[in-house]
């Protein structure tokens, strides 16, 4: 710590001569250089501008100026020349909370807050990596389970049949992704194991879950799994779906981690072994921190894919965020306003996933060690 | 040789073990299970207007949901002791056989092969639907028999797909199928001319037509090409529970015949004049107990959702956006198919 402080006092600004030449171009020059440097660029720039001029005004006219925002019944929309955003207003609670009891929605809000807070935790420099991992892998899933299901700490128990909308999407996406991380690590390590039994087992699990479509596994989890359970034993459908999502996503994460493992120079393993450090300590103290660091972009990519894949649960009858939108389009009152609902659903997905990808970019920059 | 034998025996034992849960006859009685659990699981459609649809108030509503309420009232004397478990067409029967739901209420046509081989039992009709065609008026078609060569939008994996094939073969006509899942996309396809006709359940077509900007440009043809008795299903060999499902439905139908409504059911229960009313509402005899239910079961069901006619009118009737007429769903004495066997 002391050296760090003295270091920070040293003037590290580069001398004047080595500084980057200042860009003295005016805005107009810059624009010319960037967008009209040659014939092709000028043509492309102009086409984009024309496209905007053609598309944007009618779009705005439809989506905002001619649109109906106020009212609560479909009648209010009959007069609209543009979009009708009332189905979203009228069913906002359904979109977000599904059928969750109205008095308990604060628990859902808390889950959303905790999920968002996770992103903050991820990029918070003052928190150690270990603490971050504990928060994400252990604390957050436990918190989400307790809050959503209740039944402990004096919280009313809520059946998962009451989940719907964004709850399902966030719950499945988040829990599936998080719990698959430790499993993925073990599968990746097992795949490189020298013991044939472990290796073959891990390879089979990975290949099996990677080689079959998610929908097949969802059917399996939703329907067939229940048939194998002993009579009278019931596992919540949502849990079975999470189980499937975790396995599917762990299989893909295992491959990401394996790629990370292969990127670690073999000298690292050897040095650790030479120092007499055991396998698990080598893995947890030396190898994994480096592996996780290099795999973060791929992991977040897999998370984003996973988050979107949760909409597949519609085929087994779970009403996730997108399905609530579809239900809205099938309803009598709001059946005419399918486009608006699709736009709303797409926008929410975009906002969530774009936020996550921005945070992951920040995280990547932070971890950049500049080899 | 020994190795193969060991492997074989291992495989057989695994199959036996896993197969036990799947194929061993289940003697568990769902009525007991439901009572023990304290609520019942109702397998409904995932989103069908008028039948099972999440409303703006975050509550499920529709004809199927009303049946669930009635059933919950009959068993527990409380209309809230049920959970809606939406099931899709693809998973509905497996959900039932894997005990995830106690009763399948989702509009499911009663067919021979389903009853014969799927490990489920038909319990009662809930709604008589048919299959028809929705078409642009400007084409000037008045009968389905003029549809030779038409392009038809069909929802995949439904009985309607097969019915259309049968119908066109019967009349030696040709058609081009365009397979699109029913929903706004189908309507868009019809409007933009990707297909000339939409075929679907008549109940769905009526409400689909209302979703066009100008419904008057479209017409539902008079032809009904299929019988679609949408029914309630239970697991096979579960007769006590099946009786409860069947007779709860029958009680609601009988109530309409006897003129018992949600409003006057209390009055009728207190001072029954007609002995049939007295039996139904539990004022005379012990008819509920025969089913293993409280004696006030029918009274509770009716006071929760009203009689069959009331349920119909409230959810899909002419006053609603669905705007369906009773048609086949009229009582037998009005010329419909809705009929309850005598309560005695």
- Alpha-carbon distance B171 to nearest alpha carbon in chain A (angstroms): 33
Binary contact (A333, B86; C-beta < 8 A) = no
Where residue B121 falls (left for φ over 0; alpha for ψ -120 to 50; beta otherwise) is beta
Chain B residue set in contact with A, beta carbons under 8 Å:
18, 21-22, 24, 26, 28, 41, 46-50, 53-56, 58-60, 83-88, 90-91, 94-95, 97-100, 183-184, 188, 207-208, 210-213, 320-322
- Write out chain A in H/E/C secondary structure: CHHHHHHHHCCCCCCHHHCCCCCCCCHHHHHHHHHCCCHHHHHHHHHHHHHHHHHHHHHHHHHHHCCECCCCCCHHHHCCCCCECHHHHHCHHHHHHCCCCHHHHHHHHHHHHHHHHHHHHHHCCCCCHHHHHHHHHHHHHHHHHHHHHCCCCCCCCCCHHHCCEHHHHHHHHHHHHHHHHHHHHHHHHHHCCCCHHHHHHHHHHHHHHHHCCHHHHHHHHHHHHHHHCCCCCCCCHHHHHHHHHHHHHHHHHHHHHHHHHHHCCHHHHHHHHHCCCCHHHHHHHHHHHHHHHHHHHHHHHHHHHHHHHHHHHHHHCCCEHHHHHHHHHHCCCCCCCHHHHHHHHHHHHHHHHHHHHHHHHHHHHHHCCCC
Which letter, b or e, does each residue of B162-200 get, where b requires 16 or more Cβ atoms within 10 Å of its Cβ? ebbeebbeeeeeebebbebebbbebbebbeeeebbbbbb
Determine what percent of chain B is predicted with pLDDT higher than 90: 30
Chain B within 8 Å of A73 (Cβ-Cβ)?
A: no
**Which residues in chain B have Cβ-Cβ distances shorter than 8 Å to A99?**
54, 58-60, 84
Q: State the pLDDT at residue A239.
A: 87
pLDDT greater than 60 at residue B2: no
Reported as a single tens digit per residue, the pLDDT across A45-66 is 899 999 999 988 888 888 877 7
Query: Highest mean pLDDT range out of A313-317, B56-60, B299-303?
Result: B299-303
Q: CA A326, CA A320: separation in Å to the nearest integer?
A: 10
Q: State the pLDDT at residue A13.
A: 58
A77 or B169, which is more confident? B169
Instruction: Find the mean pLDDT for residues A108-112.
Output: 89
Reported as a single tens digit per residue, the pLDDT across A161-188 is 888 889 999 999 888 888 888 899 889 8
Instruction: Find the mean pLDDT for residues B159-183.
Output: 87
Q: State the pLDDT at residue A21.
A: 55
List the single residue in B with minimal CA-CA distance to A100: B58
Contact A85, A133 (CB under 8 A): no
Coil/strand/helix, residue B91: coil
Q: State the pLDDT at residue B25.
A: 45
List the single residue in A with minimal CA-CA distance to B211: A336
Nearest CB to B86 within list A231, A232, A317: A317
Q: CA A337, CA B184: separation in Å to the nearest integer?
A: 9
Contact B121, B145 (CB under 8 A): no
Reported as a single tens digit per residue, the pLDDT across B77-103 is 998 999 999 888 888 888 888 888 999
**Every domain of chain A and the residues it spans:** 33-66, 89-367
Superfamily the domain B131-225 falls into: Periplasmic binding protein-like II (3.40.190.10)
Superfamily the domain A89-367 falls into: MetI-like (1.10.3720.10)
**Which residues in chain A have Cβ-Cβ distances shorter than 8 Å to B83?**
159, 161-162
pLDDT greater than 60 at residue A311: yes
**Nearest to residue A75, comparing CAs of A60, A94, A93, A90?**
A90
Q: What is the mean pLDDT of chain A?
A: 82
Instruction: Find the mean pLDDT for residues A224-241.
Output: 77
Determine what percent of chain A is predicted with pLDDT higher than 70: 92
Chain B within 8 Å of A222 (Cβ-Cβ)?
A: yes
Alpha-carbon distances, residue B257 vs B57, B200, B251 (angstroms):
32, 31, 10
Residue of A101, A327, A338, A341 for testing the chain B interface, max B β-carbons within 10 Å: A327
**Which residues in chain A have Cβ-Cβ distances shorter than 8 Å to B91?**
219, 222-223, 315-317
Residue indicated by tokens 């929903």: B183
Q: State the pLDDT at residue B234.
A: 92
Nearest CB to A331 within list B22, B49, B58: B49
Nearest CB to B87 within list A98, A229, A317: A317
Q: State the pLDDT at residue A349.
A: 92
Q: CA B105, CA B88: separation in Å to the nearest integer?
A: 12
B207 or B153, which is more confident? B153
List the single range of A75-89, B106-120, B217-231 with lowest mean pLDDT.
A75-89
Reported as a single tens digit per residue, the pLDDT across B20-45 is 444 444 456 888 889 988 999 999 98
Instruction: Find the mean pLDDT for residues B213-241.
Output: 88
Binary contact (A327, B46; C-beta < 8 A) = yes
Reported as a single tens digit per residue, the pLDDT across B263-279 is 998 888 888 888 888 88
Instruction: Find the mean pLDDT for residues B323-343.
Output: 89
Q: State the pLDDT at residue A5.
A: 47
ipTM: 0.77
- Other C-beta atoms lying within 10 Å of the C-beta of residue A73: 11
Determine what percent of chain A is predicted with pLDDT higher than 90: 6
**Which residues in chain A have Cβ-Cβ distances shorter than 8 Å to B41?**
161
Q: State the pLDDT at residue B14.
A: 45
**Nearest to residue A296, comparing CAs of A351, A355, A356, A354?**
A356
Instruction: Find the mean pLDDT for residues A202-207.
Output: 90
Q: State the pLDDT at residue A344.
A: 92
Instruction: Find the mean pLDDT for residues B119-136.
Output: 90
- Alpha-carbon distance A96 to nearest alpha carbon in chain B (angstroms): 10
Q: What is the mean pLDDT of chain B?
A: 85
Nearest CB to A227 within list B21, B212, B213: B21
Q: State the pLDDT at residue A71.
A: 73
pLDDT greater than 80 at residue B343: yes
pLDDT greater than 80 at residue A263: yes
Residues 6 or more apart whose Cβ sits within 8 Å of residue A231: B21, B24, B26, B28
Chain A, chain B: beta-carbon pairs less than 8 Å apart = 117
pLDDT greater than 90 at residue B66: yes
Instruction: Find the mean pLDDT for residues B127-138.
Output: 90
Instruction: Find the mean pLDDT for residues A195-206.
Output: 89
**Which residues in chain B have Cβ-Cβ distances shorter than 8 Å to A162?**
83
Instruction: Find the mean pLDDT for residues B122-151.
Output: 89
Instruction: Find the mean pLDDT for residues A129-146.
Output: 85
Reported as a single tens digit per residue, the pLDDT across A91-100 is 888 888 888 8
């Amino acid at each position: 710590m002391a050296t760090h402080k003295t270091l920070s006092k040293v003037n590290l600004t580069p001398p004047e001569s080595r500084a980057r030449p200042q860009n003295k171009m005016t805005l107009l020059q810059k624009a010319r250089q960037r967008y009209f440097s040659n014939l092709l660029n000028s043509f492309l720039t102009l086409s984009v501008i024309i496209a905007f001029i053609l598309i944007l005004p009618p779009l705005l006219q439809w989506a905002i100026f001619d649109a109906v925002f106020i009212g609560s019944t479909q009648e209010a929309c009959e007069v609209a020349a543009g979009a009708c955003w009332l189905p979203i207003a009228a069913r906002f609670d359904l979109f977000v909370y599904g059928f969750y009891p109205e008095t308990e929605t604060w628990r859902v809000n808390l889950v959303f807050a905790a999920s968002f807070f996770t992103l903050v935790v991820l990029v918070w420099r003052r928190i150690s990596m270990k603490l971050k991992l504990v928060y994400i892998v252990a604390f957050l899933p436990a918190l989400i389970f307790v809050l959503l299901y209740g039944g402990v700490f004096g919280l009313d128990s809520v059946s998962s049949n009451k989940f719907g909308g964004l709850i399902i999407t966030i719950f499945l996406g988040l829990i599936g992704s998080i719990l698959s991380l430790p499993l993925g690590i073990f599968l990746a390590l097992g795949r490189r194991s020298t013991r044939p039994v472990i290796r073959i087992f891990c390879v089979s699990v990975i290949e099996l879950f990677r080689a079959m479509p998610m929908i097949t596994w969802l059917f399996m989890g939703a329907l067939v799994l229940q048939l194998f359970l002993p009579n009278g034993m019931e596992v919540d459908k949502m849990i079975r779906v999470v189980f499937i999502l975790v396995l599917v996503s762990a299989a893909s994460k295992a491959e990401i981690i394996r790629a990370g493992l292969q990127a670690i120079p073999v000298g690292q393993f050897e040095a650790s072994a030479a120092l007499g450090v055991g396998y698990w300590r080598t893995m947890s103290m030396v190898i994994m921190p480096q592996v996780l660091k290099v795999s973060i972009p791929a992991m977040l990519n897999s998370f984003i894919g996973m988050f979107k894949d949760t909409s597949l649960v519609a085929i087994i009858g779970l009403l996730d965020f997108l399905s609530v939108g579809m239900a809205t389009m099938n309803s009598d009152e709001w059946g005419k306003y399918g486009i608006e609902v699709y736009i709303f659903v797409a926008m929410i997905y975009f906002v969530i996933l774009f936020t996550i990808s921005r945070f992951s970019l920040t995280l990547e920059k932070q971890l950049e060690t500049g080899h | 040789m020994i190795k193969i034998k060991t492997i074989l025996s291992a495989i057989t034992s695994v199959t036996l073990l896993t197969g036990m849960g799947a194929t061993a006859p289940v003697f568990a009685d769902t009525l007991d299970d439901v009572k023990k659990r304290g609520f019942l699981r109702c397998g409904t459609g995932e989103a069908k207007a008028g039948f099972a649809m999440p409303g703006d108030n975050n509550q499920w509503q529709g004809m199927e949901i009303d049946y669930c309420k009635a059933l919950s009232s009959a068993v527990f004397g409380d209309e809230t002791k049920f959970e809606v478990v939406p099931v899709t067409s693809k998973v509905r029967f497996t959900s039932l056989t894997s005990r995830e739901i106690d009763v399948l209420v989702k509009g499911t046509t009663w067919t021979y092969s389903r009853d014969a081989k799927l490990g489920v039992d038909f319990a009662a009709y809930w709604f008589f639907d048919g299959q028809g065609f929705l078409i642009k008026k400007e084409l000037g078609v008045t009968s389905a028999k003029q549809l030779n060569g038409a392009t038809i939008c069909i929802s995949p994996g439904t009985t309607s797909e097969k019915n259309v094939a049968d119908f066109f073969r019967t009349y030696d006509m040709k058609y081009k199928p365009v397979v699109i899942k029913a929903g706004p996309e189908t309507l868009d396809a019809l409007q933009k001319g990707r297909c000339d006709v939409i075929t679907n359940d008549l109940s769905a077509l009526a409400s689909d037509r209302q979703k066009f900007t100008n419904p008057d440009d479209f017409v539902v043809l008079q032809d009904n090409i299929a019988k679609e008795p949408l029914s309630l299903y239970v697991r096979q060999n579960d007769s006590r529970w099946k009786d409860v499902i069947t007779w709860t439905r029958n009680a609601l139908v009988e109530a309409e015949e006897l003129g018992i409504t949600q409003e006057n059911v209390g009055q009728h229960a207190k001072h029954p004049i007609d002995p049939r009313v007295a039996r139904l509402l539990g004022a005379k005899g012990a008819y509920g107990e025969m089913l293993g239910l409280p004696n006030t079961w029918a009274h509770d069901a009716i006071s929760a959702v009203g009689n069959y006619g009331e349920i119909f009118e409230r959810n899909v009737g002419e006053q609603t956006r669905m705007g369906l007429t009773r048609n086949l769903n009229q009582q037998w004495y009005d010329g419909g198919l809705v009929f309850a066997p005598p309560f005695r």
